[in-house]
Amino acid sequence: MSPAARVVAAAVLLVAGSLPATAAPPITGRLTSAALGEVREYTVRLPDDYGRTRTRRYPVVYVLDGPPLDDHTAEAATALARGGKAPGVIVIGIPNMQRGGRARDFLPPALRFARRDGTPFTGGADRFLRFLRDELVPRIEREYRTAAPRLLVGHSLGAIFVCYSLTAAPGFFDARFAHSPAIWRDEDVVIGSVERYLASARGIGGFFYVSAGTDEGETLQRGYHRLRAVLAARAAGAGLRWQGALTPGAVHETSVRLASPVALAAYFAGLAAPGRPR
């Protein structure tokens, strides 16, 4: 078994054993966003040893739909770091906005459809990406000791945004995690944009992880398999490292909690593999 495979296997045992690690309590911040025209909250969870040094810098994981998904991600990251399977990381949770704000933020502008009341809807993921790129990430990098890599985690609709960010800002995140991608609505728009981008891209670098639960519905699993097929056909030619996995026993509500330790371990194990830059 390769060193990378051993690290991932250890993460699988962590999940199977249900050994969550208590992460640091969150620090809450607020930012007035010009890109979105509203005030947005965010949470910051620092790694165990952040306060014990004034010089060390840390990778940052940005988590959509946080809370609660940032809780699961922070627990997984803390357990892996304490077990020596990954570095300590800063976890940033980005709460979603209710009353349609979540779909507005996460769906790409190419997705247009009529709401139940007949009014038109157009995705605003381009504005949400500007919020991340021009406002939130710069603030985090000013106020905390950050370093590469920069990671993005999304679930369900948030996983659609993860796919969109790959095509719209490929170099902005070093790793992307799309858990249970909800791409059954106009899925050809989402899948097609990823496939077209990867077919023409070269040397983009980075890592992409896609997952779904074995106990999720047929539509979600179909989306997972379609996205996985595109990655299998196109990612290597574009220079994108990737991995896909079905998470045993996971339903939609538990897929992130169960998949996160394995996904994060797979990424950091790949960075440490022989011949691959750290």
Give the pLDDT confidence score for residue 273 in this predicted structure: 55
State the burial class of residue 211 (Cβ atoms within 10 Å of its Cβ: 0-12, 13-18, 19+): buried
Query: What b/e readout covers 89-123, taking b as 16+ CB neighbours within 10 angstroms?
Result: bbbbbbbbbeeebbbbbbbbeebeeeeeeeeeeeb
**Residue the block writes with tokens 């050809």:** 188
Residues near 116 by Cβ (< 8 Å), separated by ≥ 6?
none
* Each residue's pLDDT tens digit, 144-197: 999 999 999 999 999 999 999 999 999 999 999 999 998 866 657 889 999 999
Q: In the CATH hierarchy, which fold is given to the domain comprising 3-271?
A: Rossmann fold (3.40.50)
Look at strands 38-45 and 27-33 and give their pairing. antiparallel
Instruction: Taking each helix axis as running N to C, give the angle between helix 255-271 and helix 3-16, from 0 to 180 degrees, rounded to the nearest 10.
Output: 160
* Each residue's pLDDT tens digit, 51-109: 998 999 999 999 999 888 999 999 999 999 999 999 999 999 999 877 678 889 999 99
Give the pLDDT confidence score for residue 185 in this predicted structure: 60
- The pTM for the full model equals 0.90
Longest dimension (CA), the chain: 56
**Per-domain residue ranges of the chain:** 3-271
Cβ(177)–Cβ(154) below 8 Å: yes
* Each residue's pLDDT tens digit, 191-241: 999 999 999 999 999 999 999 999 998 888 888 999 999 999 999 999 999
